[in-house]
Chain A
């Protein structure tokens, strides 16, 4: 999605990206970003929590209005009201995605090798 922000901006639109992964916004280089510490799939808040959704949207509009240079990242003070462990489980699909089913064993092996290397 950071790539799409760049593409739309380059086409002459003023964009604001709201994301829980400012890590990627920074690395890809996004014009304007509002970072939110929310679980995946819940970028603007919880379902039917219209007050929270509106707070986040208003923050996003402010960033759009006030950012002065490309690469601006503003961190939202909003917090997620559900414990981390529960939220982490809640956003994930019931079955791991096809690529994760393939990659998980490889990731595990890479992490194991790094640990061994350090030890």
Chain B
């Protein structure tokens, strides 16, 4: 059975999304796997609005409240040896209770450490990254595409990451 994208959306938002007529910009980028996964170091990136408590600031929700058509395009860095209680979330569009119980539902750091021990993957980068998914209305992803996305890509590559798992919230 194909996944129903609208199953968990309130009806009004679903109706609005369905009206969207958009075609992908071609070509879709493609980087072939550089090596077998057992030799590949992984990076993890989410848009769950996560941050490292007391080390980095939350996303700018004050400005979003003032200016609801704007969303913070910056990113936060989380060490992959972070303890659960050091993970915080700032996101006005989801209930963050679940991820504050278990970060692995968005940033699967323990699962990837297990996969590395097992030899299924080559390893996990020391740093993971979080964005905050709401990019304004209508969405403005220029800063993601031109500034913050490329910055995260460079930081991942500096850690010799070849593969990345992305998890929107």
Q: A residues within 8 Å of B by Cβ?
A: 1-24, 26-31, 35-48, 50, 53-54, 57-58, 60-61, 64-65, 69-71, 75-77, 84, 87-88, 90-94, 97-104, 107-108, 110-111
Contact = CB atoms under 8 A, between A and B. Distances in A.
B69 to A, nearest CB: 7
Given A19-B168, A92-B10, 19 more contacts: A3-B145, A4-B149, A4-B166, A9-B30, A14-B164, A20-B7, A28-B24, A31-B30, A41-B106, A43-B105, A44-B111, A47-B102, A48-B101, A57-B111, A57-B115, A60-B165, A64-B33, A93-B94, A94-B95
B28 A13 contact: no
A29 B28 contact: yes
Contacts of B104: 44, 47, 50, 53
B22 interface: yes
Interface in B103-155: 104-106, 108, 110-112, 114-115, 120-121, 131, 133-134, 137, 141, 144-145, 149-150, 152-154
Nearest to A93: B95
A118 to B, nearest CB: 13
9 contacts: A14-B32, A15-B166, A16-B164, A41-B96, A42-B105, A57-B115, A99-B69, A102-B68, A111-B15
Nearest to B145: A7
A31 B29 CA distance: 6
Top-10 shortest CB links A-B: A29-B24, A7-B149, A11-B153, A47-B102, A98-B68, A1-B168, A23-B5, A70-B28, A35-B3, A10-B29
